A and B are shown apart, each in its own frame.
Chain A
Amino acid sequence: MSLFEIKNVSKSFGDLKVLNDISVSVEEGEVVAIIGPSGSGKSTLLRCATMLETMDSGELSYLGEVAAHNDAEGKSVYASSSELRKIKSYFGLVFQQFNLFPHYSVLKNLIDAPISVQKRNASEVKKEAKELLVKMGLEGKENYYPQQLSGGQQQRVAIARALCMNPDILFFDEPTSALDPELTGEILKVIRQLAQEHMTMVIVTHEMAFARDVADRVIFMDGGYIVEEGKPEDVITNPKEERTKRFLARFAENG
């Protein structure tokens, strides 16, 4: 049983078909990188997986629990909202724009959802949150507000906030695209560390070197299709498909 499985997803925005019958499954402990040009559908795939977008057709499940299945006509039907709320606790999402709550302190950003959504013990959550902040190199920042932190620090708070929910799988939607190269390094280091701890992760990224190093599997998407998929040394270092080669060649040119 896969930890996460999305099957035969199709999604259109008006006349524009963004995802064409895509299937991805992720095993426990696996790190999957999704690469591809802008508009290839990789972010939409992530948004469908995290239920920020509804699929037109396709199936979605976490830990074998079905969040959406196809009806007789092949349209996605989602589970009840109480069922979905439970399934939402299995995954976390880190956004490109961090999306921290600006009116909450760093600590409150971490602990509010575990306490008010998961109804966990407040002091226990606080303890865990503080440990997470130390792990993220944010010791002593508990009482800061997001705007007082650098972009890299904010993104690390966002990762800590997601981890504080104890998700089984963590999605990253271009986590370094809003950061300068120096701050990007901070974030990649944190994700590397999580990979070493066998956190299951799906990362949409433009950092090819990072994807090659950290991912167990790389998926290259273009035009709403999965063009190529496999081990990083195959997809990134020795791509078979012409489209993948062209995409990666441009990256090599631009350094």
Chain B
Amino acid sequence: MSLLTVISQIASGFGSTLIVFFCTLLFSMPLGILVALGRMSKFKPLSVLIQGIISILRGTPLMLQLIVVFYGPYYVFGLKLSTAWRLYATLIGFSINYAAYFAEIFRAGIQSIPVGQTEAATVLGYTKTQTFLKIIFPQMVKRTIPPVTNEVITLVKDTSLAFVLAYQEMFTYAKQVSAAMSSLMPLFVAGVFYYVFNLVVTLIMNYIEKRLNYYN
């Protein structure tokens, strides 16, 4: 098998990797904000409940969580699993897990903003929602870009965990080709794909960080 064939084989799984990557970001970030707000709620039972869930999601392997989400409907409810469920379970597992990490980052970001900002907004008559959306949220985004970038980079590599659900993404292909060829070369090729992907992610995040540098 020529290098070109290997590359094209592995690249054919890249689309699936991208789906997991973008859908996870799309779902986990807004969910992370909601979870962060719930975690900071003055209503103690909610905050304690969310704290517990975050603790479990961060304290157990993502791979284990993916398997639980995937087989849960079968073992718990006796439901028959369709093929499409592989993708959905992957996305649900990833989104929930990443939401837990994002929630803690966002919470730290929100709490790092001086209380004077909220007080100034309150005196000016902003509602709580307005204060959050106009004053707190934009400042939080700027402050959390570096830790969020870390998470996004980790996510690029974590997408390879989807192979445990036999979801056909890039890493699954790389392993299959590697086994068929009895060679490590396909895995190196996959590594280059992940590396370049992350290079692009880093460049984009750096650009966003720079754009938000219009104020200190």
Residues of A within 8 A of B (CB): 50-52, 85, 88-89, 91-93, 95, 97, 99-103, 112-113, 116-118, 145-147, 161, 165
Give the residues from 103 to 122 in chain B that come closer than 8 angstroms, CB to CB, to chain A. Answer: 114, 116-117, 119-122
Residues of A within 8 A of B120 (CB): 93, 95, 99-101
Residue B132 lies at the interface, judged by CB distance under 8 Å to chain A: no
Which of B77-85, B134-142, B145-153 lies at the binding interface? Answer: B134-142
The DSSP consensus for interface residues of chain B is helix
Please give me the 5 A-B residue pairs with the lowest Cβ-Cβ distance, nearest first: A99-B116, A99-B120, A113-B124, A117-B125, A147-B216
Closest to B215 in A: A145
Cβ–Cβ contact A99 & B215, under 8 A: no
Contact B125–A103 (Cβ < 8 Å): no
Q: Does B206 have its Cβ within 8 Å of any Cβ on chain A? A: no
Which of B116, B130, B138, B216 is A116 in contact with, Cβ under 8 Å? B130
Q: Are B125 and A89 in contact (CB under 8 A)?
A: yes
CA distance in complex: A202, B124 (Å): 17
A113 and B215 alpha carbons, distance in the complex (Å): 20
Cα–Cα distance between A132 and B117 once the two chains are bound (Å): 22
Contact A88 B125, beta carbon cutoff 8 Å: yes
Q: Is B214 an interface residue (CB 8 A)?
A: yes
A51: which B residues are within 8 A, CB to CB?
122
Question: Does B134 contact A112, Cβ atoms closer than 8 Å?
Answer: yes
Q: Contacts A103-B142, A116-B130; is A52 near B116 (CB within 8 Å)?
A: no
Nearest B residue to A105 via CB reads B215
Number of interface residues of B (CB under 8 A): 21
- Distance (whole angstroms) from the CB of B78 to the closest CB of chain A: 49
Contact between A117 and B130, CB atoms less than 8 A apart: yes
Q: Mark B187-216, 1 if CB is under 8 A from A, else 0.
A: 000000000000000000000000000111
Q: Within the assembled complex, what's the spacing in Å between the Cα atoms of A51 and B120?
A: 12
B3 part of interface (Cβ distance < 8 Å): no
List 10 other contacts, CB 8 Å, given A52-B122, A102-B216, A103-B142: A92-B123, A97-B116, A99-B119, A103-B139, A103-B215, A113-B124, A113-B126, A116-B126, A117-B125, A145-B216
Given A97-B116, A117-B130, A147-B216, check contact A103 B124 (CB 8 Å): no
A147 near B215 with CB under 8 A, answer yes
Q: With a CB–CB cut-off of 8 A, which chain A residues contact B142?
A: 103
The listed residue with most B CB atoms (<10 A of its CB), out of A93, A113, A118, is A113
Known: A52-B122, A88-B123, A93-B123. A99 touches B130 (CB 8 A): no
Complex interface: chain A residues within 8 A of B214 (CB): 145
Contact B130 A95 (CB under 8 A): no
User: Closest chain B residue to A96 by CB distance?
Assistant: B116
A92: B residues at CB distance < 8 A: 123
User: What is the minimal beta-carbon distance from B115 to any residue of chain A, in angstroms?
Assistant: 9
Residues of B within 8 A of A161 (CB): 124
Contact B134 A95 (CB under 8 A): no
29 A-B pairs in the complex with CB atoms less than 8 angstroms apart: A50-B123, A52-B119, A52-B123, A85-B125, A85-B127, A88-B123, A88-B125, A89-B125, A92-B123, A95-B116, A95-B119, A99-B114, A99-B116, A101-B120, A101-B121, A101-B135, A102-B139, A102-B215, A103-B138, A103-B215, A112-B134, A113-B125, A117-B124, A117-B125, A118-B125, A145-B214, A147-B216, A165-B124, A165-B125
Give Cα A52–Cα B120 distance, bound, in whole angstroms.
Answer: 9
Within 8 A of A (CB), among B159-206: none
A85 neighbours in B (Cβ, 8 Å) = 125, 127
Taking the nearest CB of chain A, how far is it from the CB of B116, in angstroms?
A: 4
The smallest C-beta distance from B71 to any residue of chain A, in angstroms, reads 46
CA distance A97 to B120 in the complex (A): 10
- B145 → chain A, closest Cβ, in Å? 13
- Distance to closest chain A CB from B167 (angstroms): 40
Quote the shortest CB–CB distance from A35 to chain B (angstroms).
Answer: 23
Smallest CB–CB gap between B56 and chain A, Å?
Answer: 35
CB of B215, distance to nearest CB on chain A (Å): 4
**B124 → chain A closest CB, angstroms:** 4
Chain B residues lying within 8 Å of A100, measured Cβ to Cβ, are 120
Q: Tell me, in angstroms, the Cα distance from A88 to B125 when the chains sit together.
A: 6
- Cα distance A146–B139 when bound, in Å? 14
